[in-house]
Structure 1
């Protein structure tokens, strides 16, 4: 019996070891899929045009060719594109954040006719790809005379189906006892939201804000259709002007511009990530 128990323990240990190896292998494979393209972009931004098109392909540049970064900011009005992206992302992020929280609060804590229908509409909006509404939105924006304007880019993108769904599910998880205690203390809707709901929802709000900012910063299709020139075009659209359609694209400046464009949103990600960790560790509710 003792020998059988030892055999079972050894088999169990081998299974656990194989599971760990398989898990680490899958994690490394996923990491490689994510990191290798980013590494290729970063290395290509320091290559000369000849090194980009050399055969066989080489990963490492012969030297740090910094002229790509100078070209990326001089061949196109890069800083104007960057300013436009900052403006569009800030306004859109603020609108979506505020509308998502207020809509979710209404769906959870208010009673009004058609509340279920509103929530079903939100779910339906999540299932409809944005590309399906491009033609109708474009026709409406053109009819309003909003082509090549900031409002023409911002307003059609201001829907908050995802944020509403995310925040609603979190609000439903807040203990009912806390809500009732706040109401017994005389808290109205504004005080309940500001003093009770939002402090208890900090990690989810930060995740919502981070996802929203990243998505809006990288938005390409709709601004590409609406913006005619550099005056309102964001940085993803601006980078396309670095490509040479008459011949071989000089990918060095394109990759350098991509790196420069990623820096602001990377900084925001790092800042919000710290706030998310702080919220997860200090935002717990004690009974």
Structure 2
């Protein structure tokens, strides 16, 4: 008769160690203190510019948190001194055109690299990524000569038309998102008769909406704040964007002997404030897009 060993006793489950309530409360206090300090550090420069733009000229650099004498007339002066509304419309037009152009073009290129299998795909994609290693100063003169040869060097077209060819960073961003989509979904659509354009426009684009929003907001902000291109291409004051116009205001009112810094700072607030508003309006979609992109990557 065989003797069997008794079954081994299962180890008792180990209950997870939960932090004590007082420890969790202490960590939360430290977290909120650190968050408050960081928020103040990031917000103070903008608050300084905002309050300084509402001070008289003699009090601009007094570093007070609130003005002793409010000078709302500074904003009326800048509207009288420069065509700010025209510059604002130009900035909106250029920024929207640049953001739409780079979002659509980059999405199409990224979709091609993610879905289609063709010889040398990885090599071509590596070549696209390699263009990010080139500083903008390297291609600045050749690109200007190209636009000058077609007679568009003194217009607003170069500020946004280059985005029609996509951006390496956005192509990489969107390609990683497209790679996370189930390929079987597109194969089933092909069986149902959906064409190549339908796969991209009707299936891929709606599924990657969060990544497209991230791309659009990134480029909108970059184009809105761009000063280098307007400095190179724009000569006519009526074609200036807000950053280029702010540079002209700074050159005019920031010179020695005149130094009307309250007007320059008012122009800075007018330039920055629209992007602050856009971020708060698109905050939910923007954060969701960043989080989703992180999971897809």
Q: TM-score, normalising length from structure 1?
A: 0.82
Q: Which residue of structure 2 lines up, in the alignment, with residue 252 of structure 1?
A: 262
Q: Secondary structure of the equivalent of 2:221? A: helix
Where structure 1 has 5 or more consecutive residues not aligned to the other structure, the ranges are 1-7, 282-287
Select the structure of larger CA radius of gyration: 2
- Kept in 2: contact 1:137–1:156 (CA 8 A): no
- Give the distance between the partners of 1:130 and 1:21, measured in 2 at CA: 45
Confirm whether residue 82 of structure 1 aligns to residue 88 of structure 2: yes
Q: Secondary structure of the equivalent of 2:160? A: helix
Going from structure 1 to structure 2, the CA distance change for 1:15 and 1:193 (only over 3 Å counts) comes to: same
1:111-130 correspondence to structure 2 within 5 Å? 111-130=117-136
- Kept in 1: contact 2:210–2:290 (CA 8 A): yes
- Give the distance between the partners of 2:78 and 2:223, measured in 1 at CA: 22
Where structure 2 has 5 or more consecutive residues not aligned to the other structure, the ranges are 1-16, 292-297
RMSD between superposed Cα atoms in Å: 2.8
- Kept in 1: contact 2:75–2:263 (CA 8 A): yes
CA distances 1:64-83 after superposition (whole Å, capped 9, x unpaired): 21111112212111112112
1:222-241 correspondence to structure 2 within 5 Å? 222-241=229-248
Alpha-carbon shift at residue 278 of structure 1 (Å): 8.1
Alpha-carbon shift at residue 28 of structure 1 (Å): 3.0
Alpha-carbon shift at residue 99 of structure 1 (Å): 0.2
- Give the distance between the partners of 2:257 and 2:43, measured in 1 at CA: 29
2:226 to 212, 219, 224: 219
Going from structure 1 to structure 2, the CA distance change for 1:248 and 1:125 (only over 3 Å counts) comes to: farther
Alpha-carbon shift at residue 209 of structure 1 (Å): 1.0
Q: Which residue of structure 1 lines up, in the alignment, with residue 6 of structure 2?
A: none
Q: Which residue of structure 2 lines up, in the alignment, with residue 49 of structure 1?
A: 57
- Kept in 2: contact 1:81–1:232 (CA 8 A): yes
1:36 to 16, 31, 44: 44
Confirm whether residue 151 of structure 1 aligns to residue 157 of structure 2: yes
Alpha-carbon shift at residue 271 of structure 1 (Å): 3.5
1:1-287 correspondence to structure 2 within 5 Å? 20=28, 23-54=31-62, 57-156=63-162, 158=164, 159-243=166-250, 244-247=254-257, 249-276=259-286
